[in-house]
Amino acid sequence: MTEASRWPMDGQAEIAALRRQHQALDDTVRAMESQPSPDQLQIARVKKRKLALRDRIVKLEDRITPDLIA
């Protein structure tokens, strides 16, 4: 198997791992927001990490999915 043909499988596994991390951060934000006096700075930091993960997921998906010109 060549490096190029292995990429979609490896990429899918990496995307799945990043999605799990993203979901865990989402759960963390919900738990933090449910506190009586949530730390808004900590929440903002976790949300920023979530956005960075989302950006990585989108970049990986773009590398895996070929551009289709109509």
Q: How far is Cα 46 from Cα 29, in angstroms, rounded to an integer? A: 7
Whole-prediction pTM: 0.77
Which residues are CB-contacts of 5 (< 8 A; sequence separation ≥ 6)? none
Name the residue ranges covered by the structural domains of the chain: 3-64
Q: What is the pLDDT of residues 19-29, one digit of tens each?
A: 999 999 999 99
Which residues are CB-contacts of 58 (< 8 A; sequence separation ≥ 6)? none
1 has a pLDDT exceeding 50: no
- Of the candidates 48, 67, 66, 63, which has an alpha carbon nearest to the alpha carbon of residue 11? 63
Q: What is the pLDDT of residues 44-55, one digit of tens each?
A: 999 999 999 999
